[in-house]
Amino acid sequence: MRVQKPATIYLLRHGHSTANARSILAGRDASVSLSPRGIEQAQAVMQELGERKFAKIYSSPMPRCLETLRPLASKSKLKIEKDDGLIEMEYGDWSGKKLLLLSRKKMWSEIQARPSLVRFPNGESFLEMQGRALESVKSLAIPGAEILVCSHGDVIKAIVAGLVGLHLDNFQRLTIDPASITVIDLFAETAQIRLMNSTVHLKEPKGLSTGSSKLNLGGGSGTKSK
């Protein structure tokens, strides 16, 4: 019996953004771009992945994702294809707010413990976000080939959880830092994590944290560690 080769999916979180620098939950604010640190990270991503033979490069339509991919796309001569299923979570009324202030709201503890039951005010539910993101990734996957997908912290965590069978209520146990690389082999009935949240290519100075374990929403704020 012929065994089908896996579809290999590289999941890249966008680089450190201007919202990360201010510890703000950016959501779908199109004015948010890469910070100077994020621009450097985009170059590091290009150096790390520039020799890989990706069949396709896909991205969330948000500018911070497109900016992260541009150096790599330029080197590889591949077009960046936008996919709405990969877009950032719609945080509704929480969008644009400081994470520290949001962490004091009653719903914050529910987001950490039972996200599968949470819908943001005038926004999206975690289940809806995970459903459309998984549908996109599975439809884009190419057996026997590698594709690159650039998206957002919570979205990538939800994708990983869904592919490997981790309940959505446990997806906050995962960490996806800015400009990190996660690699998953997708088979017909299962998936295997080959690499998780790798940031070795960034070579950042000691004392900088690419995420925030205390403010675990939006994939982490990416501010300096205390």
> pLDDT tens, 125-179?
999 999 999 999 999 999 999 999 999 999 999 999 999 999 999 999 999 999 9
Upper half-sphere CA count for residue 34 (Cβ side, 13 Å): 22
Secondary structure class of 150 (helix, strand, coil): strand
pLDDT-flagged residues of the chain (< 50): 1, 210-213, 222-226
**The domain 7-202 is classified under which CATH number: 3.10.20.30, 2.60.40.1180, 3.40.50.1240, 1.10.3720.10?**
3.40.50.1240
End-to-end CA distance of the chain: 55
* Phi, psi of 112, deg, nearest 5: -75, -35
**Amino acid, res. 125:** S
- Please give the pLDDT value at position 210: 46
Secondary structure class of 13 (helix, strand, coil): strand
The position carrying tokens 């981790």 is 166
The position carrying tokens 């300096």 is 224
- SS percent in the chain: helix, strand, coil, step 5: 40, 20, 45
- Please give the pLDDT value at position 189: 85
Two tokens, residue 98: 């400081």
pTM, rounded to two decimals: 0.93
**Amino acid, res. 216:** N
Is the CA virtual torsion 100, 104, 106, 109 positive or negative?
positive
